[in-house]
Amino acid sequence: MDFTITAEEEALVIRVAAQLRAGHSPTDDSLAEELGDEVRPRMQALLQKGWFIVDAEGSLTLSRMAQAALSSRRDVGGV
């Protein structure tokens, strides 16, 4: 897993984490519809870096390493 991410990628990880906590199942299409098509390269980069996983239904979810990285951050719902 590549822990080097840009501020824009970090914001997208936090956005997906918030949607998952709210019980939503974000997809690349739903995020692009919400945030614009310019978000697609960031989603692809995060998939390649190991932050996102696409589940069997085609929804984005956080990898275990991403969950662990976010769990220590109080500003994004960590303990």
Q: pLDDT tens for the chain, 79 residues: list them.
A: 788 899 999 999 999 999 999 999 999 999 999 999 999 999 999 999 999 999 999 999 999 999 988 887 665 554 3
CA proximity to 67, closest of 20, 35, 32, 24? 20
Phi and psi at residue 53, in whole multiples of 5°?
-130, 145
Q: Judge if pTM exceeds 0.85.
A: yes
Domain boundaries, the chain: 7-72
Residue 27 CB burial class (10 angstroms; 0-12, 13-18, ≥19): middle
Fold designation for 7-72: Arc Repressor Mutant, subunit A (1.10.10)
pLDDT at residue 1, as a whole number: 77
Tokens representing residue 70 in the block = 């976010």
Distance CA 32, CA 7 (A): 18
User: In this structure, are residues 46 and 52 in contact, taking their beta carbons and an 8 Å threshold?
Assistant: yes
